[in-house]
């Protein structure tokens, strides 16, 4: 099975890399272009293309700076 990685972008979208299927509340799939290797999901709530990011986070004042905790080794 192929790996899927979900990456946060500072004050930006969630970027999902790998083979995924996005469905609405009724189970209907959103179209994802064939061969697309990543998608960006909106976190700011301002996208006109929800659930996908359209770059509005850059102008709406959205701020998100969370990072994963550092592992002590």
pLDDT for 18: 92
- What 23-29 contacts at long range (C-beta under 8 Å, 24+ apart), as own/partner pairs, is none
pLDDT for residue 2: 76
Secondary structure (3-state) at 57 = helix
CA angle centred on 41, ends 14 and 21, rounded to 5°: 110
pLDDT, tens digit, 9 for 90 and up, residues 29-45: 999 988 888 999 999 99
At 6 the pLDDT is 96
Q: What ranges do the domains of the chain cover?
A: 1-73
Looking at the predicted structure, is the pLDDT value of residue 7 above 90? yes
Instruction: Indicate the CATH number for domain 1-73.
Output: 3.40.5.90
CA distance 40 to 59: 17
pTM of the model as a whole = 0.86
């Amino acid at each position: 099975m192929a790996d899927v990685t979900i990456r946060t972008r500072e004050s930006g979208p969630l970027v999902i890399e790998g083979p995924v299927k996005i469905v609405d509340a009724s189970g209907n799939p959103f179209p994802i272009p064939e061969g697309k290797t990543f998608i960006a999901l909106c976190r700011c709530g301002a996208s006109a293309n929800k659930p996908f990011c359209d770059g509005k986070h850059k102008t709406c004042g959205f701020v998100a700076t969370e990072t994963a905790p550092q592992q002590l080794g």
